[in-house]
Structure 1
Amino acid sequence: MTTTEPVTPIEAVPAFAPAAAPATSSVSPTRRQLWRRSRWFLLSAVVLLLAGLLIAGLGGNSQYPPLDPRSPDRDGTRAVVHLLEKRGLTTRTVATEAELTAALREPGTTVVLPEPDLLTTPQLDSLSDVRRGSDSRLVLISPEAAALDAFAPGITLATVSAGLPDSVGSLSGPADCPLPEAVRAGRAELGGLLYRPGPDDIACYPRHGRYPLVRHTDAGSRELVVLGSGRLLTNDRLDDDGNASLALGLLGSRQHLVWYLPDYSGSAPATERKALTDYIPSGWSWALLQLGIATLLAAFWRGRRLGPVVSENLPVVVRAAETTEGRARLYQRAKARGHAADSLRRAARHRLAPVLGVPLSAGEPDPTALCAAVADRLDRPSADVRSLLYGTPPTDDAALLRLTDDLDALERQVRQP
């Protein structure tokens, strides 16, 4: 007569149902780890952004040349042009010689040349011929001998003993002349180059027998105004003394005001071949410099982090725990949960099969025999055991952790029923 040993009730055996994973067993990176990994990249991005903003801010101050009617800077003339427009005058800028020629031919026009001596001699002669048939007022700012010879031969540039142009600093003083615009303005701030007027010219604001303001009148109503400096027209000095009144009088005597603003830097001659670098905008040089510095800093940072190369004698003994941890980290970085689950299940099957007496065939136990043996040992449904040992891969890290805990619980129950 055979006797059977009492079987431990199922309720007394710890179930291999999913166990609650400890809070510290998560493989997802923490906030502290994310911050430590990304802080240097964020710092580099902030430094590059600040450097770009600084360079852009510094480069924006020279947007307009001096005496530009569009410029709100201290040396611009936007204020006087705005006042003239409020009086009903029309104002515009021209940038080509053809547009300047057309403006000189228009009736009722005041044309301002801020830098007349930058024009070539043929250009000055051509404009002088055009102006003979017009009734415009031409305002020359700081002209020298070439421009005076072309437009007003009677006015000469005052010189010092060495033959250099005579000039004085801007100084407020009385007009001392019958010019209506100067009489209304009274004291005004003039200076710059000084001139000697012709017999029929009106000269104002004298400086030791020489003048920074001269008006020359040709036949008819054609007028030429010579200013030694455009300082009184600027936004910074317009509200001093009678500068505003004098500026409005000199520039507002006609219905239309035209300001000549060419690109004096000029383009290369048509016969000159341009290099490839000539077509690259100037701002790209700063961008390339920033990229080069960032590359050097990144190389220095990574080089210091990796450290020098260390020689190691072979063969090297690597502990199994280190190999397992390294492989697990590779799986984690690649998000290969399926491969990790397969490795865990395969190892569990290989450990369970000898305990239950299931032979290995081609390196693997028979799935049906193994699941039946486990189910018979624990008195559990075979389908549950198969789902655990041969189931689908987990979909997230939490499911992978639950699978690990379930496999551990299953092995403990099989070994210690």
Structure 2
Amino acid sequence: MTTAPSRRWSVWGWTAIAAGIIVVGLGLTAIAGIAQLPARGLLDPHAAGPDGTRAITRLLQKEGVSVIAVRDREAARAALSSGGTLIWADTSPLADDTIREISARADDVVLLDPASRDLRVLLSGASVGGYGMSPVEPGCDLPEAQRAGPVAPGALFTADASVQACYVSDGGAGLIVRDDGERRISAIDGTVLFTNAQLARDGNAALALNLLGRHPWVVWYLPSLEDSDFADSAPSLGELTPPWVTPVMLLLLAAAVGAAVWRGRRFGPLVVERLPVTVRVGETSEGRARLYARAGEPTHALDNLRIGALTQLARLVGLGPTASAQEISDAVAQRLGEDRQAVRGILIDATVDDDAQLVDAADRLRSLEKRLHTAVRPAPRPRAPESDSPLDHPPSRKDRS
């Protein structure tokens, strides 16, 4: 009867272990795949969140401008085979030569989130400096800026006289443009002006359409980590650790699994065994009283003995567990026919100061219990001796003869 539950628990245990392994494996797979997910956030033309730029993408498409979003350099080169506008949202994964080589294929280049390195590579002499929060007029002859009107530029840039500066504020310009022959290179803070959350403010939308829609198509390049020029230079975790780490980790894992299996084994069904020991009801109270006596607390020891005695006495006189100590004491005195105050002194009121008094009080408690037990359950009467009447002994064959 006990083998079926044991087998059922064993099956459930191994099923839980297998499910845990599967869950851990799926979690590790998900974590490993995070790096493979394409970036969908700041200045992403497909992102509909506050930091995305899908709104300006839709506006450009309504104006007849094709927007091509690419995430690797080969796709960017193919899309720029016939020119067009190249939009850089992030150049950090690429080397300087790669940035120059891809930018040279475009008719226009727009830096939407230019860092100092981007300005050094594509707009030599320009640098980042300052921040503009209030709307300002274009303040330049650039037609795209004149048609857009005032904007709050965000990041400000400084440059030499070869660069046309618009939206000048606090010694910096919110838009800088350099015409390099037939190619134009522009730098502007698109994170403040062209995102979905900011596009409807001031002249932001008009400036974006005028600046990005100068050619029939736009190539929006967001380099991914797989397209990075620095991927091979960074050592992996396996390359940084000593060669003995992996075998040791595998050995520890195997040891942990073996220990879990060993500790989780069941040595057959549980067996109920009767103990050949009978523990008296008052054993707990007496044991606690001994501890108090050893600790030099005779009063506490006597109180524990009294608690056990009151429990036994209440059962003998037929009182329930809710009866108070005074009620039990009075019932015992009435049953024994003794003075109530004397019984209360034994069960409740008397105090002790040393071990000798504790022994005397314990003796009085024990004597009271014995007397009550005798009064409630008297000893059985002795059996009458066997009678010598002839009726009790039928005559033998010899007597009958």
Q: TM-score, normalization: structure 2? A: 0.47
Structure with larger Rg: 2
